[in-house]
Amino acid sequence: MEYTIRPIAYVHNTRKEMLDDNWGSILSEIVLTPELEESALLGIEAFSHLDILFYFDQVSDDKIQYEARHPRNNPDFPKVGIFAQRGKNRPNKLGVTTVELIKHEGKKLIVQNLDAIDGTPIIDIKPVMKEFLPKKEVIQPAWSSQLMAQYWK
């Protein structure tokens, strides 16, 4: 079974390449497509954070990972399955990031901490609600903290 999903918005920012680190200083605009009304964002400014689901459209099919690998191809990290990491080379090329909403203007959202490059199609936008956050402590392996040390700088 296949599904057709159309973008609801696109990212506009200064980041043109898919690099692994230094996303924290990037401000991004998320602009709704012409088919969507401005009212689709009505009330969104009441939320401080949003979950953004996007499509890694610039990842070529030959780069998709279907098996275990070392994150960032770094042999210092353990070999783990693609679903045990957040790499861009995923089978369905989907990314999700929690961003801070800085400003809402009409059909445009200004956000910070979105790790998507300029032109990236947005699949969905959801407000972050405390009730959907983990109820217990988040646990992760040490290698993932090492890998993320420079990601948001």
Q: For the chain, what is the mean pLDDT? A: 93
Identify the residue with better confidence: 48 or 17: 48
**CA–CA gap between residue 98 and residue 51 (Å, rounded):** 4
| Within-domain flag for 52 | yes
Range of the domain at 30: 9-147
What CATH number did the domain enclosing 140 receive?
2.40.30.70
* Residue 124 lies inside a defined structural domain of this protein: yes
* Per-residue pLDDT at 125: 98
Between 33 and 145, name the one with better pLDDT.
Answer: 33
Average pLDDT over residues 113-140: 96
Which whole number is the average pLDDT over 106-124? Answer: 97
pLDDT digits (tens, 9 = 90+) for 62-76: 999 999 999 888 899
Rounded CA gap, 113 and 69, in Å? 26
Cα R_g (the chain), whole angstroms: 16
Residue pair 70/63 in contact (Cβ under 8 Å)? The answer is no
Query: Domain for residue 141, yes or no?
Result: yes
* pLDDT surpasses 80 at 18: no
Backbone dihedral angles phi then psi of residue 106, each to the nearest 5 degrees: 60, -115
pLDDT at 25 over 90: no
Number of domains in the chain: 1
Name the pTM for this structure.
0.92
Assess if residue 2 is contained within a domain: no
Q: Which residue has the higher pLDDT, 72 or 91?
A: 91
Per-residue confidence (pLDDT) for residue 21, from 0 to 100 = 65
Structure tokens at 55: 């499509």
Q: Is residue 111 part of a domain?
A: yes
Confidence label for 148 from pLDDT (cuts 50, 70 and 90): confident
Q: Six-digit token pair at 149?
A: 């040390």
